[in-house]
Amino acid sequence: MFFSLLLSLYILTKRKTHLPLLLYFSFMKNLKSLILLVLLLPVQPLLHAESLETLSNDQLLRRLDRMIEHKADYRNSILSHIDSMKVLAMSQPMNERAETFMQIFQVYSYIQSDSAMAYLARTEALPVSQENAELAARVRIGRAKVLGVMGLYSSALPIIQRIDARKLSDDVRLFYYQVCRTLYGWMSDYGEIYDRKIHYRDLTQMYRDSIILVQQPGIDRNIVKADRALTLGDISQAKSICLKSLPNADNLQRTYLYVIMSDIAHEEQNTDDEIRYLAMTAINDLQRGATEYSALPKLAILLSKTEGGGERAYNYLVCTMSDAVYCKARLRTIEATNIFPIIEQGHKNRMHDRFALSIGISCAILIFLVLFAIGLFYAHRRNRQLAEIHKQLDAAIASQREVNDALSVANAQLVQANQVKATYIARYLERCRTYIDAMETNRKRLLKMLRGGGQTEVLNLLKSDNTLSMEEHIFYTDFDETFLTLFPNFVTNFNALLQPDAQICTKRDELLNTELRIFALIRLGITDSNRIAHFLNYSLPTIYSYRSRLRNKSIFPKEEFESRVMNC
């Protein structure tokens, strides 16, 4: 835990939170805090991001997929560091506590806007904030920054415009310029009136130049210079600055450099490099627990236009929307909402194609089974006819044994009957062979057609005796996974509607069981029992039974149960 605290403090200082000022107060007020900060210095080499440049695009995307699956772990790790900072703040003198609160605000500003605002308010409530004009200015600038993240530009602008930058120290003035550049940049990118967009773009450029004038030489300044060169159309200079800065950059600086490199690749129409740098940016964003970011939705748009990238694009956009809602970053929510219908439509088309493929396979198997059943029916009827002939022959032989004259006739009839028998057997065998050959011909023709179409998976399914059940299992599994992506808390919320002894628990190897699928379909708006029975391949009485039984076990009135399911 102590190392985690050191790690979190170092990460916070990399966010430009006035480390010199904090060191000064720590030295003057609390020697223990100074020792803690000095101990951070050996940790710095461990915090540089693992080099991602050596990985291929496929490897980067696979790593990004894994990070999205475990993003909650990364976020919880950062939040645990913040908790450590909160505990530390409570034992600090007033000045140091204010600085720690500002550090906590800086981290929260990329994770959760409400919490960031709360710690700005806590800082402002401290008596030292009333006495220290610099600290009060930082609080106001921070509030404008968070309001910008939330998309509340009309609220952020008056705060920024009331601050006199000439009265600020260099460090606070740099923070002011950075927030102004970001705020006006967003207003330029997402404004609707053309003349105002130009005005905000000019202000963005002006504050970018101001940052370059105030910021000390180094990688952070190079990042701004590269951004400026790219904005002015000097792609080669921007690229040169980024490539020279990358080897010595830390993890956060690499993230900003990757963003610029992705913009450069976009201008050069180099889609592979753009995907590459956006993927590296997204990996770093998730690794630091950020929920307000732009790389992942941009990557989703690019992948949606590539062959086989639609599923990833959909997952990335869902991740973006959930994180934007968590952060309350209205800007990112609107941005994701605007592009979500495009990617979602592609996702629906893929699901429709997959469903159509399943229906085609099911129909082919059904036709095969029908033909096989018809063959068995005719074979059985032939057998019955042959059995009847046997009975007639036996009766004829018994009746002709009484007289010699009739014996020869009976023998002749027997020979004739045997000839009939042989003929029927031959015809029966020939008919069986004909059906077998016909089925074999149909199978070969179907296999040839499928081979010609390149549908190897369908070919394997047709060869398998368990094709139908396997495809049905895959279909329901896909349904379960898609449904739970849209409604991840459905099972928990649904169980909350039931009495404690009626809670539904799925098996380890299944996502939803039959009862949950029925009400998952109801949640999707499919309330007709006939349609549900057809979808799940159950009888109508069975569906009625499930619905009635669970209504009876609801903690709410029966007539309200299914309407409440619609809100799960």
Alpha-carbon distance 565 to 554, whole Å? 11
| Residue 148: partners with Cβ closer than 8 Å, 6 or more residues away | 156, 179, 182, 183, 186, 331
DSSP 403: -
The residues with which 554 forms a beta bridge, in sequence order, are 498
Q: Please give the angle made by the CA atoms of 502, 506 and 511, to the nearest 5 degrees.
A: 135
Q: Which two tokens stand for residue 486?
A: 């849209």
| Residue 176: partners with Cβ closer than 8 Å, 6 or more residues away | 137, 141, 160, 163, 165, 168
Q: What is the pLDDT along the chain (568 residues), one digit of tens a residue?
A: 333 333 343 334 443 333 333 333 333 333 333 333 333 333 333 333 447 888 888 899 999 989 888 888 888 888 888 888 888 888 888 888 888 989 898 888 888 888 888 888 888 888 888 888 888 889 999 898 988 888 788 888 899 888 888 888 888 889 998 899 988 888 887 765 566 788 888 888 888 888 988 888 999 989 999 988 988 889 999 999 999 998 888 888 888 999 999 999 999 999 898 999 999 998 988 888 888 778 888 888 888 888 777 788 888 888 888 877 777 765 556 555 555 565 555 556 656 666 777 888 888 888 888 888 888 888 888 888 888 887 887 776 666 666 666 667 656 656 644 543 444 344 444 445 554 665 676 677 667 766 776 566 556 656 655 555 766 777 788 778 878 887 889 999 999 999 988 899 888 888 899 999 999 889 888 889 998 998 888 899 999 999 999 999 999 998 889 889 988 8
Give yes or no for a contact between 289 and 277, defined as CB atoms under 8 angstroms apart. no
pTM: 0.52
Alpha-carbon distance 87 to 77, whole Å? 16
pLDDT at 48: 38
Q: Which two tokens stand for residue 23?
A: 């060191």
Three-class secondary structure of residue 212 per DSSP: helix
Alpha-carbon distance 347 to 327, whole Å? 26
Region of residue 151 (left: phi > 0; alpha: psi -120 to 50; beta: else):
left
- Please provide the size of the chain in residues: 568
Give yes or no for a contact between 206 and 173, defined as CB atoms under 8 angstroms apart. no
Region of residue 412 (left: phi > 0; alpha: psi -120 to 50; beta: else):
alpha
The closest alpha carbon to 123, from 107, 149, 152, 103, belongs to 103
DSSP 306: S
Half-sphere exposure of 357 (CA within 13 A, CB side): 19
DSSP 152: -
Other Cβ atoms closer than 10 A to 80? 14
Give yes or no for a contact between 99 and 18, defined as CB atoms under 8 angstroms apart. yes
pLDDT at 337: 59
Burial of 223 (0-12, 13-18, 19+ CB in 10 A): buried
Alpha-carbon distance 337 to 346, whole Å? 15
pLDDT at 427: 43
pLDDT at 381: 86
Give yes or no for a contact between 50 and 67, defined as CB atoms under 8 angstroms apart. no
Q: Which two tokens stand for residue 63?
A: 């790593």
